[in-house]
């Protein structure tokens, strides 16, 4: 017998102004369930999640939460309040029975010390603190709205593993396909104000969605044929039996009403790129290029040849220097040593990460036309700005809407529309997937596949890199960069590992306060036998623990395990948590001893 739901939304409806945003939505979350909530930008996903969290009251419908069940909600733009430190902010979310040490552990894993002033954090740092706050209590239900925003690849992969090891039920909104496929076990699709549920992970969503839409089209076609038949009867049928005539006229009116009430699926984004003349065969050549800021090397003796038609991805943790390397290759930054040469006839268009080129006071129309008339040149042909807006899912009524009030997804589509309208044979895309819905990402991938020019791409989206990149350039640390053929998954196979969470976590862990209490270097100038033995054996111990964690996570990935044997799932989860803690301790100890060894030998 299935466990009763911890959270239940029934017949939810909500209207903002005109067209209902949500008409009849359902959401049921049972213990240990892993749901992803999908739908187009503007379909109401975030609003439905806020209703589930109890932050927004629906116009109609009911919300039920099991008494005693704990719910934690991560919004897209978290408010850190007036807490003095990030640790105080995270600890404020703990309950009386929660582990207080978990707050500090999560902050360290996410690259924070706990001493930061929440008012001075960047967007990415604030999101990491908010993640620590919702994960620390290990609640019964986690409601996460775009948790990977502003996170780099190591943090995303760490977050995946952390959530997989938790027993919490999960409702997840994300544009990261790989993240959704890894964590979801069921999919809820919010479309035209209504929800549909599929008891499979996101990996099966697109084929299921296409089947549903195809069935809708067939039903709409049958309805249209019935209306045509009834209209033919009205014009040419027998009119002697008045009562029967009245009934059939009423039926015809009902059919017309049904067709009028049917909310059609939103049209798709139509992406076209304005091609320039072909560039030369050689687009970029770097030989021994190097760049440093102060004493910190960003790029060391890097060489590459990028040819016309290549699609090159840049991968690394935040702060590794991806944008610096990219700007050096396209000529915006001069190398300190070595040479960088651009090929002939390069026409470059850059889609920047921060959307800084968008003036918030512009209207949508002005942003597309730069204030010059009401037409825009696309592919060498003039096109009315309203028609071009429709290609990117903007309504004609939004033509005079200020850019400053657009949502993140709308700003992403607008920036993409501006970039693709400019003639180019070299596209430079810095985090192009930010805030784009999955359908737009699909079409962007198809457009890039057909693009005759060259693409340079910085992204933390593993699926997007796999689908687009012909090669990737990866940070190996300390300013070293290595190029691998293929996408992200191909790189992992060749390299033997991905851009793991330890890359990001190790860097901020070094200056923790506990280290200041260790004996000064002068007091410890030699390695003991115990230290030497630990240095020799810890790598094998860490490999053994990593293998054990992978084995436990593989067993917990069985979607039926929790329902079939909750006790076994609990034991596996506890064993995985202990193994991860042991691994973190072993890595810290190895790092301490290795630093001591280098100090002694130096």
- Under the banding of pLDDT at 50, 70 and 90, the label for residue 343 is confident
Question: Where is pLDDT greater, at 69 or 123?
Answer: 69
Q: How high does pLDDT run on average in the chain?
A: 80
More confident residue, 549 or 263: 549
CA angle (593 as vertex; 592, 598 as ends), nearest 5: 100
pLDDT digits (tens, 9 = 90+) for 81-107: 889 999 999 999 998 888 888 999 999
Domains of the chain as residue ranges with CATH: 7-206 (3.40.50.300), 282-501 (3.40.50.300), 518-601 (1.10.287.380)
Give me the residues paired with residue 170 across strands.
34, 142
List residues forming the annotated binding site for ATP: 39-46, 316-323
Beta strands per DSSP E along 438-497? 454-458, 471-477, 480-485
Backbone angles phi and psi of 557, in degrees to 5: -70, -15
Longest dimension (CA), the chain: 112
pLDDT number for residue 16: 75
Strand partners, 456: 312, 428
The predicted-structure confidence for 150-178, as pLDDT tens digits, reads as follows 888 888 989 999 999 999 999 999 989 99
Do 422 and 369 meet the contact criterion of CB atoms below 8 Å apart?
Answer: no
Assign 509 a pLDDT band (cuts: 50, 70, 90). very low
Q: d(Cα 481, Cα 473) in Å, to the nearest integer? A: 6
In angstroms, the CA 75 to CA 144 distance is 7
pLDDT of residue 300 exceeding 60? yes
Q: What pLDDT, on the 0 to 100 scale, is given for residue 517?
A: 35
Dist CA 253 CA 251 (whole Å): 5
Interval 497-506 mean pLDDT: 51
- For residues 574-580, average pLDDT: 80
The full DSSP string for 261-328 is H--PPPPPP-----B-S---SEEEEEEEEEEEETTEEEEEEEEEEEETT-EEEEE--TTS-HHHHHHH
Percent of all residues in the chain with a pLDDT value above 90, rounded to a whole number: 31
The whole-model pTM stands at 0.68
Q: Given this model, what pLDDT does residue 251 score?
A: 59
Q: Lowest mean pLDDT: which of 173-182, 194-203, 226-235, 301-310? A: 226-235
Query: pLDDT tier at 505 (50, 70, 90 boundaries)?
Result: very low
Confidence bin at 71 (pLDDT 50/70/90) = very high
pLDDT surpasses 60 at 265? no
The pLDDT assigned to 172 comes to: 96
Integer Cα distance of 580 and 421 in angstroms: 49
Bind-site residues: 39-46, 316-323
In tens, the pLDDT along 416-470 reads 788 777 788 898 988 887 767 777 787 788 778 778 889 999 988 888 888 888 9
Question: Does 509 or 196 have the greater pLDDT score?
Answer: 196
Q: Which of 108-122, 161-175, 230-244, 430-444 has the lowest mean pLDDT?
A: 230-244
Q: Residue 232, Cβ neighbours under 10 Å: how many?
A: 10
Please compute the mean of the pLDDT values over residues 43-65 and round it to a whole number: 92
Question: 523 falls in which pLDDT band (50, 70, 90)?
Answer: very low
Residue 523 per-residue DSSP state: G
Predicted confidence at residue 516, as pLDDT, reads 35
Sign for the pseudo-dihedral over CA of 398, 400, 403, 404: negative
Of the pLDDT bands very low, low, confident and very high (cuts 50, 70, 90), residue 236 is low
Higher pLDDT, 71 or 266: 71
Residues 6+ apart with CB under 8 A from 99: 136
Q: How confident is the model at residue 522 (pLDDT cuts 50, 70, 90)?
A: very low
């Amino acid at each position: 017998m299935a466990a009763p739901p911890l959270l239940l939304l029934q017949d939810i409806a909500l209207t903002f102004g005109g067209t209902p945003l949500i008409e009849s939505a359902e959401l049921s979350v049972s213990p240990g369930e892993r749901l992803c909530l999908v739908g187009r930008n503007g379909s109401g996903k975030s609003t439905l999640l806020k209703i589930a969290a109890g932050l927004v009251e629906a116009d109609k419908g009911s919300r039920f939460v099991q008494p005693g069940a704990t719910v934690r909600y991560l919004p897209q733009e978290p408010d850190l309040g007036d807490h003095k430190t990030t640790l105080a902010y995270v600890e404020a979310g703990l309950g009386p029975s929660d582990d207080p040490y978990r707050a500090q552990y999560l902050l360290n894993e996410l690259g924070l010390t706990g001493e930061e002033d929440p008012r001075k954090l960047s967007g990415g740092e604030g999101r990491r603190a908010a993640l620590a706050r919702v994960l620390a209590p290990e609640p019964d239900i986690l409601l996460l709205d775009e948790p990977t925003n502003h996170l780099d690849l190591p943090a995303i992969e760490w977050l995946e593993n952390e959530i997989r090891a938790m027993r919490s039920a999960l409702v997840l909104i994300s544009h990261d396909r790989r993240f959704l496929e890894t964590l979801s076990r069921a999919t809820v699709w919010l479309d035209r104000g209504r929800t549909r549920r599929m008891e499979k992970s996101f990996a099966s969503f697109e084929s299921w969605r296409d089947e549903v839409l195809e069935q809708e089209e067939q039903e709409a076609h049958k309805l249209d044929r019935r209306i045509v038949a009834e209209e033919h009867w009205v014009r040419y049928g027998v009119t002697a039996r008045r009562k029967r005539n009245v009934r059939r006229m009423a039926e015809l009116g009902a059919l017309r009403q049904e067709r009028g009430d049917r909310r059609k699926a939103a049209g798709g984004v139509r992406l076209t790129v304005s091609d320039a003349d072909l560039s030369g065969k050689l687009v970029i050549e770097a030989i021994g290029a190097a760049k440093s800021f102060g004493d910190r090397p960003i790029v060391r003796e890097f060489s590459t040849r990028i040819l016309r038609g290549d699609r090159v991805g840049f991968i690394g943790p935040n702060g590794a220097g991806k944008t610096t390397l990219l700007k050096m290759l396209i000529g915006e930054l001069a190398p300190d040593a070595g040479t960088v040469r651009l090929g002939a006839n390069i026409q470059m268009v850059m889609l920047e990460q921060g959307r800084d080129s968008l003036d918030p006071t512009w209207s949508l129309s002005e942003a597309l036309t730069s204030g010059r008339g009401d037409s825009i040149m696309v592919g060498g042909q003039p096109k009315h700005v309203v028609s071009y807006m429709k290609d990117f899912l903007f309504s004609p009524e939004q033509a005079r809407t200020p850019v400053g009030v657009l949502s993140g997804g709308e700003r992403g589509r607008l920036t993409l529309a501006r970039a693709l309208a400019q003639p180019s044979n070299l596209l430079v895309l810095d985090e192009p997937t930010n805030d784009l819905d999955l359908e737009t990402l699909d079409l962007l991938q198809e457009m890039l596949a057909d693009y005759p020019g060259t693409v340079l791409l910085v992204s933390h989206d593993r699926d997007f890199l796999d689908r687009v990149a012909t090669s990737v350039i990866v940070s190996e640390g300390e300013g070293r960069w290595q190029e691998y053929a293929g996408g992200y998954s191909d790189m992992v196979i060749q390299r033997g590992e991905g851009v793991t969470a330890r890359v990001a976590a190790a860097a901020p862990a070094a200056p923790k306060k506990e280290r200041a209490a260790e004996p000064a270097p002068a007091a410890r100038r030699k390695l003991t036998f115990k230290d030497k033995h630990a240095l020799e054996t810890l790598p094998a111990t860490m490999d053994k623990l990593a293998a054990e964690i992978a084995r436990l996570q593989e067993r917990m990935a069985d979607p039926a395990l929790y329902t079939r044997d909750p006790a076994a799932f609990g034991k596996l989860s506890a064993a995985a948590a202990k193994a991860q803690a042991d691994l973190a301790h072993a890595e810290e100890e190895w790092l301490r001893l290795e630093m001591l060894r280098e100090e002694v030998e130096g």
